[in-house]
Amino acid sequence: MSILTITNGLHANSEEIVRLLGEKFNCRIASDADILEITHHTHDISLTTLQKVLESRQIAFNDFTHEREKCLSALKKTLADFVSDGNCILHGLIGHLIPKTTTHVMRVLIIAEKAQRIKNGMAKKGVSEKEITKEIELSDKHAILWTTALFNQKAWDESLYDIVIPSGKLDANQAVDLVSKYLKKLPFTLEDLILQEVFDFKLTANVELALSHIGQGLLVESNQGNVVVTIDKKVMLLTKFQQRIIQAAQAVPGVTFVETKIGQNYYKGNIIHNYEFETPLRILLVDDEKEFVQTLSERLKMRQFTNEIAYNGQEALDFTDEEDTEVILLDLKMPGIDGFEVLKTIKATKPHIEVIILTGHGSEADRETCMNLGAFAYLQKPADIDIITQTMKKAYEKIEAAKV
C-alpha cells in the first residue's frame, strides 16, 4: 500500500476514518503527537520547542539558535524512517514535510463545513458552541500558518492533496471505500524508484540537519547523492559562506556531490552573522518606548547581538519564565511593573541573568538602589551604542566565567 498522509479539520470525524483505514490495510498509524515524541527522544529536542514549531509560534532568539530549522530537519528525519519502513498512515500536519518528489505517498484531506464540525465537537465533548468554535478556529489557524510557511497555500487548498473527503457528506465506511478506489487507480511505482525516493528524502533530511547550525534560508534538494543547496537569504562574503555549506554537506554519509545556487530572496547584505566570537547570545530589551527600543534592537542586530523585545515589566517577567535569557537591558520608568520591581524579581529568582539598566529618568539614588539590587551596570540615555555593546560583552564574560 502507498503511504498515506491524512490532514483533517478539527472535529471532521477523521479519527474513525483513520482507524478503519488502519484496520483495512493492516498498517501502523502515527499521529503528530507520535512523531513529536519520537523526534524528542531521538534528537534530544524538547517537546515544548517541537510543539511551538508545529504551531508556528515564535522561537525566541532563533536568529542565533536556529531551533526552528533544527526541529524541521529532525522531524523530516523521523518521517523519512516511517516512509522507509512503509505501510503506515501519518495522521496530522507533519506529513506535509514529505516532499512532493516522494511519489508513492498519497495525500488525503478530511474536511467538513465549519457548522458541521461545531456540531460534531459539541456532541463529542459536551461543551458550548462558543468553546468548540474557539477550539476549531485555533486549530485551523495553526494549520493555515503551517501550510502557508511550507507552501504559501492555505491548509484546505485542494491542490495540496490527491483526494479530498467531505466527511459531512460521507460516513466513515464510504470514506474508506473512496480511498481504496483511489489507491487502485494510482500508477504502479517501481520498487527501485521507491527505494531511490526514500534514499533522497533521508539524505535531504540529514543534510538539512547538518546545515541547521548555519541558519535559515537554505533549501536542500537531493538526487541520488547529488545535493543542491539554494541560498535564499541575504549574505555577505558569499564565497566563504558557500564553502561552509559545502564542507558541512559533504560530511554527511551518502553525499557524493554538493552544489550551491542563489535563490530569489538572496541579495548581498552589509552583514553576515558569525557567532564564533563571544557576544551575549540571548538578550532581552525591556522598554515601553516602542520606537526607541525597536531602533535599538535593529542596531544591536547589525552588530550581531541577538535580541528580543518586551514592552513592559510583566512581559519581561513572563518572557524570562519561558525562555532562556542571559542579559537584560532594562528601563526603569514603565507603567505597571516598573524596572526596579523587574530587577528585584529577576535577581531573586534568576540570579544568573545579568541586568543592565538603561534609563533616561534616573538619579544617583536610583543608580545606588539598582546596584544594591544586583544590577550589572547602570547607563543613562542617550548612551552610545558602543558603550552599550561593550557593557553587554562584559556582562557575558561574567556569565561565561561563572560556568567554569
Note whether 255 and 359 are same-domain residues. no
Q: Kindly tell me the burial class for residue 385, based on how many C-beta atoms sit within 10 Å of its own C-beta (0-12, 13-18, 19 or more).
A: middle
Q: Is residue 209 part of a domain?
A: no
Residue where a domain stops, chosen among 229, 250, 275: 275
Q: Is residue 266 part of a domain?
A: yes
Q: Is residue 199 part of a domain?
A: no
Note whether 9 and 94 are same-domain residues. yes
Note whether 305 and 357 are same-domain residues. yes
Q: Is residue 203 part of a domain?
A: no
SS3 67: helix
Low-confidence residues in the chain, pLDDT < 50:
269-277
- The position carrying cell 485551523 is 140
Predicted local confidence at residue 332, as pLDDT: 93
Note whether 233 and 341 are same-domain residues. no
Note whether 254 and 292 are same-domain residues. no
pLDDT in tens, 264-286: 877 654 443 443 345 556 899 99
Residue where a domain stops, chosen among 158, 191, 224: 191
Q: Is residue 222 part of a domain?
A: yes
The domain of 234 spans: 214-275
Predicted local confidence at residue 280, as pLDDT: 52
Per the DSSP assignment, residues forming a β-bridge with 107 are: 5
3-state class percentages of the chain: helix first, strand second, coil last, to nearest 5:
50, 15, 30
CATH number, domain containing residue 219 = 3.30.300
Residues 6 or more apart in contact with residue 121 via CB below 8 angstroms: 10, 11, 127, 132, 135, 136
Predicted local confidence at residue 277, as pLDDT: 40
Note whether 17 and 163 are same-domain residues. yes
Note whether 245 and 288 are same-domain residues. no
Note whether 319 and 361 are same-domain residues. yes
Predicted local confidence at residue 189, as pLDDT: 62
- The position carrying cell 524570562 is 320
- Would residue 224 be called left, alpha or beta, if left means φ above 0 and alpha means ψ between -120 and 50 degrees? left
pLDDT in tens, 348-363: 999 999 999 999 887 8
Grid cell at residue 23: 484496520
Q: Is residue 143 part of a domain?
A: yes
Instruction: Give me the amino acid identity at 58.
Output: Q
Q: Is residue 207 part of a domain?
A: no
**64 vs 395: CA distance, rounded Å:** 18
Residues 6 or more apart in contact with residue 63 via CB below 8 angstroms: 215, 273, 301, 306
**89 vs 27: CA distance, rounded Å:** 7
Question: What values do phi and psi take at 34, rounded to 5?
Answer: -65, -45
Note whether 14 and 125 are same-domain residues. yes
Note whether 68 and 176 are same-domain residues. yes
Note whether 225 and 168 are same-domain residues. no
**224 vs 101: CA distance, rounded Å:** 13
Relative to beta strand 226-231, strand 218-223 is: antiparallel
**129 vs 117: CA distance, rounded Å:** 10
CATH number, domain containing residue 352 = 3.40.50.2300
Residue where a domain stops, chosen among 231, 256, 275: 275
SS3 42: helix
**20 vs 309: CA distance, rounded Å:** 49
Note whether 185 and 230 are same-domain residues. no
Grid cell at residue 159: 491542490
CATH number, domain containing residue 68 = 3.40.50.300
Q: In angstroms, what CA-CA distances link 277 with 62, 295, 303, 305?
A: 18, 24, 12, 11
Number of domains within the chain: 3
**173 vs 180: CA distance, rounded Å:** 11
Q: Is residue 200 part of a domain?
A: no
Put the strands of the sheet holding 354-359 in their side by side order. 307-310, 283-286, 327-330, 354-359, 377-380
Going by the DSSP 8-state scheme, the letter that residue 12 receives in this structure is S
Asked whether 132 and 77 are in contact (CB, 8 A), the reply is no
